[in-house]
Amino acid sequence: MKVLKFGGSSIADASRIQKVAEIIKAEVKRGPFVLVLSAMKGITNLLIQAALLAEQGDRDYLTFISRIKATHATAVKVLFSEQKGKPVLHDLEQLHGELKDFLHGVELIRECTARILDLVMSFGERLSCMLMTHYLNECGVHALFIDARDLIVTDDAYGNASVIYSQTYTRIKKYVGGIKQVPVITGFIAATENKVTTTLGRNGSDFTASLIGAGLDAESIEIWTDVNGVLSTDPRFVKNAFTIRELSYEEAMELSYFGAEVIHPKTMIPAVDKNIPIIIKNTFNPEQAGTIIKNKIKKHTAAISGIACIENIALLNIEGGGMVGIPGMAARIFSILASAALNIIMISQGSSEHSICLGLKQNEALEAVRSLNKELKKELESKTINEFVLIEELVIIAVIGDNMRGTPGISGKLFSALGKARINVLAIAQGSSERNISFVIHKKDSARALTTVHKAFFTTAKAANHGSG
């Protein structure tokens, strides 16, 4: 049993849906599998915009509903004859009607809570899966629509709910296990124990696929998307970036966290649990082998596996003679930022304890300074700490790979390459997993730094069959 997940861009319109159906028809001959789908491309965003307009009492939300409706109806017109399209349109129309009623409710109450927004967003996946189920049956593949809200149980953290694994796996086994048809399961959406709709976070359908795979003890989880796999680095900056053939779960998690947006980072959790390989495949180039993410990967000669880049970063420097040897200062700083819901991306502190340096998203940095100024007023007045220094227009580059562990000389090679290219490094962090060295540089140096590091580590490695494509 396999799981195949297709993302929004793979089912963006009728011709793409036909491509997906071809892939599925070929799969039917190979053995049993389950499908997981995202919403059609752009639909989740339209749903969110519609909800926000309705909340403001702006009746323009109706235009957004019409656009959502038109996207699906246009696909139906191409995929079905007029006669056969009727029951499909009827089913879709029912969902659209429901959506319109809910949004009318939002318009009247002028409030769209996170809970309501999850319900509104759920229509994207319900519509796409309804449409695909009909189309597969039309193509002679016996398919069955399944609403993941009956399978995936979460807490009530709307917008980014946490999965309750044991209940979820039990339900998946019970409700999907014995199905003879091809199950077409809605990605992204879930429900609490009390059957209130939740979602798994933006791009969460990958995670759904992995949960279904783990629940069914699948042999593999295929994530079909619009690129050949995980790339060695950002191709916008480095033109000879290549597709990585194999990654360990940990490497994939690090890379996806650090901006290689091919796969949702949480996807790895259920797969690791059950040791199921995840394969990234390209819907528009299915012959490509893609990237396989699994437990034990083949030995490769490159010291690193990939280089990620996170843009729009600011560094916040917290310095002061009074910080030395005083326990709890870091804890206070972190809890101040946590209470303001600000996310710290990178931390570096020298052993002199004289300064702590935090990497934050640019758009959260000013707020961070404001909260710290407010909460650490006394320390600032008594000059225990100096005024905060904010440096903006930066990027974090993360060099990632299991091979770095216990291998001396990697940071030497990395920083001497950067030094030779005269790239100034503002801060450095390495976790003790030794799987990731992150450093901060000025935005203007990003392309040069990525090219330099890519060249330093990959020129010979690619020849040694680490990559393809």
The residues binding ligand ASP (CB under 6 A) are: 7-8, 38-39, 44, 124, 187-188, 202-205
Q: Tell the smallest beta-carbon distance from residue 378 to ligand ASP (Å).
A: 43
Q: Tell the smallest beta-carbon distance from residue 44 to ligand ASP (Å).
A: 3
Q: Are 278 and 292 in contact (CB under 8 A)?
A: yes
Residue 188's binding partner out of Mg ion, ligand ASP, none, with CB under 5 to 8 Å set by partner kind:
ligand ASP
Q: Is the dihedral of CA 164, 170, 175, 177 positive or negative?
A: positive
Region for residue 434 given its phi and psi (left: phi exceeds 0; alpha: psi -120 to 50; beta: otherwise): left
Q: Tell the smallest beta-carbon distance from residue 5 to ligand ASP (Å).
A: 9
Q: Tell the smallest beta-carbon distance from residue 231 to ligand ASP (Å).
A: 20
> Smaller CB distance to ligand ASP: residue 188 or 458?
188
> Smaller CB distance to ligand ASP: residue 129 or 346?
129
Radius of gyration of the chain (CA): 24
> Smaller CB distance to ligand ASP: residue 43 or 314?
43
DSSP per residue over 76-143, as a string? Answer: HHHHS-HHHHHHHHHHHHHHHHHHHHHHHHHHHHT---HHHHHHHHHHHHHHHHHHHHHHHHHTT--E
Q: Tell the smallest beta-carbon distance from residue 156 to ligand ASP (Å).
A: 19
Buried b (16+ CB within 10 A) or exposed e, 122-160: bbbbbbbbbbbbbbbbbeebebbbbbbbbbbbbeeebee
Residue 44's binding partner out of Mg ion, ligand ASP, none, with CB under 5 to 8 Å set by partner kind:
ligand ASP
Q: Are 297 and 245 in contact (CB under 8 A)?
A: no
Q: Are 133 and 20 in contact (CB under 8 A)?
A: no
Q: Tell the smallest beta-carbon distance from residue 268 to ligand ASP (Å).
A: 15
Q: How far apart are CA 458 and CA 469, in angstroms?
A: 14
> Smaller CB distance to Mg ion: residue 247 or 315?
247
Residue 229's binding partner out of Mg ion, ligand ASP, none, with CB under 5 to 8 Å set by partner kind:
none
Binding footprint of Mg ion on the chain (CB under 5 A): 7, 203
Give me the residues paired with residue 358 across strands: 316, 347
Q: Tell the smallest beta-carbon distance from residue 336 to Mg ion (Å).
A: 34
> Smaller CB distance to Mg ion: residue 198 or 256?
256
Burial class of 72 by CB neighbour count within 10 A (0 to 12, 13 to 18, 19+): buried
> Smaller CB distance to Mg ion: residue 308 or 453?
308
Q: How far apart are CA 455 and CA 469, in angstroms?
A: 17
What is the chain's length?
469
Q: How far apart are CA 291 and CA 115, in angstroms?
A: 36
Q: Tell the smallest beta-carbon distance from residue 6 to ligand ASP (Å).
A: 10
> Smaller CB distance to ligand ASP: residue 6 or 388?
6
Q: What are phi and psi of 408, to 5 degrees?
A: -75, 155
The pair of structure tokens assigned to 284 is 């528009």
Q: Tell the smallest beta-carbon distance from residue 92 to ligand ASP (Å).
A: 17
Residue 306's binding partner out of Mg ion, ligand ASP, none, with CB under 5 to 8 Å set by partner kind:
none
> Smaller CB distance to ligand ASP: residue 204 or 401?
204
> Smaller CB distance to ligand ASP: residue 7 or 401?
7
Residue nearest to ligand ASP (CB): 205
